[in-house]
């Protein structure tokens, strides 16, 4: 294993920001890069990458990384915000993952994105441990934006129950995933159950999914359970359930549960009296893919995403 600093940023009042990368195999080859936390609350994403570093150290010592392959893992790119528990860049509230491919003479987050992206260009595969903008719980899954560089086979090599595909939207054009693909990297986003806390089962699933992908692509020699036959769906085909009113949100089902048409899957309660304001029911027989996780919910908020069975 080789540890190196791929970007640093001097600070007047505190230690420099140093973005560390851990490299395995042959550093002359850019086979796969795994990118972790770019936001200050992405604890789970950093943790998954840290676990991967440990696994890859053991695989390298036992000679199970294939010849002529290079692996890079970047657990965290935003320690400044993480140290104070702030999701976006602490000084100006901008998002590093909305600044790619970056600009070396621009604002701070543009310069960070530029420094990181210069190191990430040229990899054959890229996996980003991503987080969702909305508070909630997901099934562990892989997502891919469909571009001319999309790898139709790779999305099933993670061995996860579900994989999502979607067309890029205008706001995606400044994300890492989109720009990776523009520079000919086959990029995937991997989502786990949580973001700002650590869920061991979900983290283990994510680590195994990445190792399974690398094994299926011939990057490592590793015996691992083959996982699931992946159900690939278009994100636009998912059922979205919106809250009809604001109040206390009481979820009555779990991620991955199968629910029947008409089943009550959540309740909205009056925050002052706990009187029931609304029952949230499933419109179709489906699997719970996402549910809202904050105790209070606003009217019109997406409370569930369901996959039709």
Average pLDDT over residues 24-30: 96
Of how many residues is the chain composed?
Answer: 309
- End of a domain among 197, 218, 234? 234
The vertex-196 CA angle with 193 and 198, nearest 5°, equals 60
The CATH number that applies at residue 243 is 2.40.50.100
**Domain range for residue 303?**
238-308
Confidence of residue 151 (pLDDT cuts 50, 70, 90): low
The CATH number that applies at residue 34 is 3.40.630.10
40 Cβ contact list (under 8 Å, min separation 6): 78, 80, 81, 82, 83, 84, 85, 86, 87, 88, 90
Specify the number of domains making up the chain: 2
Residue 93, helix vs strand vs coil: coil
- Clarify whether residues 228 and 88 are in a common domain: yes
- Clarify whether residues 129 and 261 are in a common domain: no
- Clarify whether residues 166 and 21 are in a common domain: yes
Average pLDDT over residues 183-193: 93
* Sheet strands (E) in 130-229: 136-138, 141-145, 162-166, 186-191
DSSP state of 62: T
pLDDT at 149 over 90: no
75-120 pLDDT, tens digit per residue, is 999 988 998 889 999 888 999 999 999 999 999 999 999 999 999 9
Report how far residue 211's alpha carbon sits from residue 220's, in angstroms, rounded to the nearest whole number. 8
Average pLDDT across the chain, whole number = 93
- Clarify whether residues 246 and 217 are in a common domain: no
Q: Sheet harboring 264-269: ordered strands across?
A: 276-281, 264-269, 247-251, 296-297
Report how far residue 165's alpha carbon sits from residue 149's, in angstroms, rounded to the nearest whole number. 13
227-262 pLDDT, tens digit per residue, is 999 999 999 899 999 999 999 999 999 999 999 999
- Clarify whether residues 176 and 73 are in a common domain: yes
Tally of CA atoms within 13 A in the half-sphere of 201 that contains its CB: 5
Report how far residue 160's alpha carbon sits from residue 232's, in angstroms, rounded to the nearest whole number. 10
- Clarify whether residues 205 and 242 are in a common domain: no
- Clarify whether residues 225 and 248 are in a common domain: no
- Burial (CB < 10 A; 0-12, 13-18, 19+), residue 166, is middle
Q: What is the pLDDT of residue 195?
A: 86
- Clarify whether residues 112 and 215 are in a common domain: yes
What percent of the chain has pLDDT above 70?
99
Tally of CA atoms within 13 A in the half-sphere of 118 that contains its CB: 12
13 Cβ contact list (under 8 Å, min separation 6): none
Q: What is the pLDDT of residue 105?
A: 93
Residue 219, helix vs strand vs coil: coil
Q: What is the pLDDT of residue 200?
A: 87
Sign of CA dihedral 195, 196, 200, 203: positive
- Clarify whether residues 130 and 186 are in a common domain: yes
Please give the residue that has the higher pLDDT: either 52 or 13: 52
- Clarify whether residues 56 and 192 are in a common domain: yes
Asked if 100 and 163 count as a contact pair (C-beta separation under 8 A), the reply is no
- End of a domain among 183, 212, 234? 234
DSSP alpha helices (H): ranges in the chain?
43-61, 79-83, 108-120, 176-182, 200-216
Q: What is the pTM of this model?
A: 0.93
Q: What is the pLDDT of residue 201?
A: 87
- Clarify whether residues 9 and 155 are in a common domain: yes
- End of a domain among 204, 234, 264? 234
Closest to 232 (Cα-Cα) out of 172, 146, 170: 146
Write 191-194 long-range contacts (CB < 8 A, 24+): 191/130, 191/131, 191/132, 191/138, 191/140, 191/141, 191/142, 191/143, 192/44, 192/45, 192/48, 192/129, 192/138, 192/140, 193/44, 193/137, 193/138, 193/139, 193/140, 193/255, 194/44, 194/137
Q: Six-digit token pair at 26?
A: 């042959």
Closest to 17 (Cα-Cα) out of 96, 127, 131: 96
- Clarify whether residues 38 and 126 are in a common domain: yes
């Amino acid at each position: 294993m080789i540890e190196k600093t791929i970007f640093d940023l001097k600070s007047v009042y505190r230690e420099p920001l140093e973005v560390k990368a851990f490299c395995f195999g042959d550093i002359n080859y850019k086979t796969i890069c795994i990118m972790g936390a770019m936001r200050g609350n992405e604890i789970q994403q950093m943790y998954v990458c840290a676990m991967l570093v440990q696994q890859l150290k053991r695989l390298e010592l036992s000679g199970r990384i294939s010849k002529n392959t290079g692996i890079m893992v970047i657990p965290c790119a935003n320690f400044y915000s993480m140290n104070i528990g702030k999701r976006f860049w602490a000084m100006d509230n901008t998002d590093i993952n909305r600044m790619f491919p970056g600009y070396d003479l621009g604002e701070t987050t543009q310069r960070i994105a530029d420094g990181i992206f210069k190191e990430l260009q040229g990899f054959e595969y890229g996996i980003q441990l991503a987080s969702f903008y909305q508070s909630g719980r997901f099934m562990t899954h892989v997502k891919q934006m469909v571009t001319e560089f999309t790898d139709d086979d790779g999305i099933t090599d993670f061995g996860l129950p579900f994989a999502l595909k979607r067309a890029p939207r205008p706001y995606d054009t400044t994300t890492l995933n989109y720009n990776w693909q523009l520079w000919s990297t086959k990029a995937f986003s991997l989502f786990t159950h949580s973001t700002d806390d650590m869920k061991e089962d979900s983290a283990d699933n994510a680590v195994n999914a990445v190792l399974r992908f690398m094994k299926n692509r011939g990057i490592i020699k590793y015996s691992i359970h083959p996982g699931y036959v992946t159900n690939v769906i278009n994100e636009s085909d998912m059922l979205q359930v919106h809250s009809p009113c604001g109040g206390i949100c009481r979820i009555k089902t779990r991620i991955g549960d199968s629910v029947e048409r008409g089943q009550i899957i959540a309740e909205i309660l009056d925050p002052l009296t706990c009187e029931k304001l609304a029952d949230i029911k499933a419109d179709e027989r489906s699997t719970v893919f996402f549910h809202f996780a904050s105790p209070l919910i606003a009217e019109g908020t997406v409370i569930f995403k369901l996959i039709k069975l």
